[in-house]
Amino acid sequence: MIQAVFERAEDGELRSAEIIGHAESGEYGLDVVCASVSTLAINFINSIEKFAGYEPILELNEDEGGYLKVEIPADLPSHQREMTQLFFESFFLGMANLSENSSEFVQTRVITEN
């Protein structure tokens, strides 16, 4: 199962996302749930890089897959921060919808930092 954990700050902004695990909803290479999560995550990162103009902080397991953590730097200028929040909320919406439709393979939750 894929676990997606989004961290939201007290001010309401999303600050990080951690995606852990494998969907195992089909054979390797044919797992549409895994492909959906990967597409959402890659599009999120690519959108930040292309349109917000910076590289987010990434941690991933390229050898085995099944792990991605994306963090947003705290010191972004306001225009980059606003654009990033739009992309982050879109990523969260996609993951939440996927969780609703494929709850046996994906769980998405939000934690609020204190």
Q: Which three-class secondary structure string do you get for the chain?
A: CEEEEEEECCCCCEEEEEEECCCCCCCCCCCHHHHHHHHHHHHHHHHHHHHHCCCCEEEECCCCCCEEEEECCCCCCHHHHHHHHHHHHHHHHHHHHHHHHCCCCEEEEEEECC
How many whole angstroms separate alpha carbon 114 and alpha carbon 82? Answer: 22
- Tens digit of each residue's pLDDT (9 = 90 or more) over 24-73: 888 877 889 999 999 999 999 999 999 999 999 999 997 777 899 999 99
Statement: residue 19 has pLDDT above 90? yes
Rounded to two decimals, the pTM is 0.92
| From the candidate CATH numbers 2.40.50.110, 3.30.70.1490, 1.10.10.10, 3.40.190.10, the one assigned to the domain spanning 2-112 | 3.30.70.1490
Q: Which residues are catalytic?
A: 22, 34
Residue boundaries of the structural domains of the chain: 2-112
